[in-house]
Amino acid sequence: MMLPSFAGGASRMTSSGLREACQEIESLGFESIWAIDHFLPSPAYGQSWLDPLLTLSFVAASTVRVRIGTGVLVLPLRNPVLVAKEVATLQHLSDGRFILGVGAGWNPLEFEALQVPRTERGLRSDENIDVLRLLLSGAAVRYQGSRVRFPEIAIEPMLTAPPEIWVGGGSQPAVQGSTESRRQAPDSVIRRIASADGWISPSTSTPALIAADWARIQSTASAIGRDPASITFAHMNSLHLVDTADRDKALLDQERAFARYLGKQRAWEFAKQAYLVGSLDDVVSGIQERIRLGVRHFILGPITAQQPELNHQLRLLASRVLPALA
C-alpha cells in the first residue's frame, strides 16, 4: 500500500492516523507499505508529502511484518553517501524489510531549489545507484565518478543483506493540450530499469504504454545477460473506492476526490485513463488487466489521509477487491 503521507493543509497525515493506518494495513494482510517522495508541492498534485525515509522509520517502528519501501526516492537530488547511511540504518532497524525504490524525478522547482541541474538527472541517477550498491555491500570502497568522488570509506551498520533497488519510470500519456501522442521512456531509463532488482511502473502510465515498456525492458535485460524473470515487475496506482455497482455514481464521487488530490495541471479526463476508477468491478478489471501484462506486485494508494475514511478504503480493498482477484 502507498501511504497518503500528506504534509500540508487540513488533509495532512497525523502521527496517530499514520500509526492507525500502518496497523490496519498489517492486520488486513497487505504485503508492503510505501512512501512517496516530493520535496516541494507541485502543480501536478494538490498535496505535498512528508519526508519518505523519516516516515518509513515511523512505519518500521509501528509494524513487525510488512515490507517497507520508497515509491520512489528522487535520487539525483541527494548525496548518495548520506542516502547509503540512511538506507543502511533503516534496513537494519526494520530487520531487513526495506526496498529502495528510486527515480530520476521531474519537478523543475525541486532541482532548482536544491541546486542540481535537471539535465544531469539521468547521469546522477546511474552514478548514485552505482555508489549505493557499492557502499551497501559492506565493503570499504573508493569512488571517482563524474559527479561523486570520495576516498576509501565503509558504511555501517554492515548489513546481512542489502535492500533490493527498484527503479521507477516509464512512458507517459501526452500532456493535456500537447500534439504528442505519448512521451516514450528514453533508452537510458529502460537500461537503468533492466539493470535493477525491480521496476515500478508509474501510476500515470496507461496499460498499453506499460506493456510496451515491459517488452523493451525484457529485451534489454536479455541483451545485457540478465534473466528478465529476475526483475520484479511492480505497478503503482491511486484509487478512491466507492462501494457501489453503479459506475456513474462511483465516477462522480471519484471525480470530486481526485480533484482534491490532483493539481490544476492534470484534468479528470487524464486521471480516468490511468488511475483505477469506476465501480468495484471496474477496479478489479483494471487490476486484472495489469496482471495480464505481467505485474506481480501492486502498490495501491488511497488518496485520503483522513481517518476513519482511510481505514474504510483499506477494508474495502481487502474485503471487496482482493477476493475477486483470487
- The model carries a pTM of 0.95
| pLDDT mean over 181-198 | 92
Residue type present at position 63: T
pLDDT tens figures, 46-75: 788 999 999 999 999 999 999 999 999 999
- Whether 1 is covered by a domain: the verdict is no
- 3-state secondary structure at position 48: coil
pLDDT of residue 297: 98
pLDDT for residue 178 is more than 70: no
Tell me which residue range forms the domain holding 258. 15-325
Grid cell locating 313: 478504503
Of residues 172 and 42, which shows the higher confidence score?
172
pLDDT of residue 177: 42
| pLDDT mean over 166-177 | 82
pLDDT of residue 6: 93
pLDDT tens figures, 274-291: 899 999 999 999 999 999
- The count of domains in the chain is 1
pLDDT for residue 312 is more than 70: yes
- Whether 8 is covered by a domain: the verdict is no
- Whether 10 is covered by a domain: the verdict is no
Element (H, E) at 283: helix 280-293
CATH of the domain at 150: 3.20.20.30
- Whether 4 is covered by a domain: the verdict is no
Average pLDDT over the chain, rounded to an integer: 94
Measured from the Cβ of residue 46, the count of other Cβ atoms closer than 10 Å reads 20
pLDDT tens figures, 61-119: 999 999 999 999 999 999 999 999 999 999 999 999 999 999 999 999 999 999 999 99
- Whether 287 is covered by a domain: the verdict is yes
- Whether 97 is covered by a domain: the verdict is yes
- Whether 3 is covered by a domain: the verdict is no
- Whether 151 is covered by a domain: the verdict is yes
Q: Quickly state the pLDDT bin for 182 (edges 50, 70, 90).
A: low
Instruction: Tell me 118's DSSP state.
Output: G
